[in-house]
Structures are given as structure tokens and as C-alpha cells.
A and B are shown apart, each in its own frame.
Chain A
Amino acid sequence: AQTVTQSQPEMSVQEAETVTLSCTYDTSENNYYLFWYKQPPSRQMILVIRQEAYKQQNATENRFSVNFQKAAKSFSLKISDSQLGDTAMYFCAFMTDNAGNMLTFGGGTRLMVKP
């Protein structure tokens, strides 16, 4: 079974600064996909970024980038130039080819961006 662990229940960052959210996972599969979802107070789940395990290059989406370390089974999210609108719960999620498209989520990290 796959597991996803987010070891930081809560984090805070000053506006315009950079913050990194941690995620580790456990799997015996070789081909899989990793995601970061954002859940603001509105409860909507919004895809932030995704990474295919077979790609060595780290994914980047504007101010969001990941540090994917396959050997260490680590998938951290870096948010640059933090904005007040980044305040939300952030969930790391995992999917394999053999799991019927089921996403396995971590427990989440609550991020507060302070003015």
C-alpha cells in the first residue's frame, strides 16, 4: 500500500518570502505521479503542480516549484514570493498506474501567509 506523509501540520511565512512544504511517500512501484493540491477556506481542491516519476526535471508552475528526490522518496513544494492568497491547506498526493486512478493524500499542511 502507498502512504504519503506530510510532517509539518502548520507553517507560516511572511508575504514575499519563500517557504518549502515537505512531503515523503512510500511505494514499491517504479512508475507513479505526484501532485500538490491547494485547499483554500472555500474548500475547493485546486491542483497546484504535478510531477511524473520518470521525469528527472523538477516541475515548475510560475511561483511554485518542486524538489523531487526519487531515491529519497521526497517531494517538497517551494512557494516563492508568497502572497496572501496562498494561505490554504496544502495536500501532497500520489497515484500509480496500478491503483485505478486513485489519489492517495497526505494529511495536509496548513500554510498561513502573514502581511
Chain B
Amino acid sequence: NAGVTQTPKFQVLKTGQSMTLQCAQDMNHNSMYWYRQDPGMGLRLIYYSASEGTTDKGEVPNGYNVSRLNKREFSLRLESAAPSQTSVYFCASSVWAGRTTDTQYFGPGTRLTVL
């Protein structure tokens, strides 16, 4: 039982390049989330998927797209990377978004640098 896994662990991009961050969970959770963490700050929600087939914007969605590929996988895409998107990206999952007592379980993060 690996929990939440993310690939890659590190990535360096040039401005304007595109890439997709991958996230998978093996806990049979319905809801998945993408956060970013900037230096010295807490995490901020980019997008979330309450259930397979649905996605919604979070606090900072601009510049990102997401795909809930199936129940296990939730990807985050940067179409044209900008230096402002340099950050650490975390994926998380929980049993069901409608139950606010659900705990979110986090992956190990992806450190992205955009030059």
C-alpha cells in the first residue's frame, strides 16, 4: 500500500515549456487534490476532483489544467510554464469531498523549477 505517489520528484523547465505532473493513489479514495507550496508559505489549492469525472477550481487555478483519468489517477498540466509557477506541488486524496471530516493524505511532492 503506497498511499499517494507522485512523479516526477524533481523537474526543471524553461519558460514556455509544457509538462504534466502525475499523481496516483491506491487507497480507493474518491476525492483528489492538487496544491502548490511556495517558499515560506502554506499550501494553496489549485484544483480538486470530488469524484471520478468531476473537477473544480481551487484558490489558484490560473495557468493549470487537470484531468481525472480514472479513480486512481489525477494529473496536473502546465501548458506554458512561467517562472511564477516555480513551486513544490503536492497531490492529496481523501475518501469523499462531501464529508468534511475526511482527512487528506498527501504525496511526497514534486519540486518544479521554471527558468
Contacts and interface: CB of A to CB of B under 8 A. Distances in A.
Interface of A: 4, 33, 35, 37, 42-47, 50, 52, 91, 93, 95-97, 100-108
Interface in B37-72: 40-45, 48, 50, 56, 58-59
Nearest to A105: B42
A45 B42 contact: no
B40 A44 contact: no
Interface stretch (B18-26, B78-86, B92-100): B92-100
B75 interface: no
A1 B95 CA distance: 25
Contact of B97 (A47, A50, A100): A100
B88 interface: yes
A44 B48 contact: no
Interface string B82-115: 0000001010101001101111111111000000
Interface residues of B, number: 30
Contact of B50 (A95, A101, A105): A101
Given A100-B50, A101-B50, A50 B43 contact: no
A3 B108 CA distance: 25
Given A91-B42, A101-B50, A103-B45, A43 B108 contact: yes
Contacts of B58: 100, 102
A105 B44 contact: yes
Given A100-B50, A100-B97, A101-B97, A45 B40 contact: no
Nearest to B57: A100
A45 B103 contact: no
Which of A33, A37, A101, A108 has its CB near the most chain B CB atoms (within 10 A)?
A101
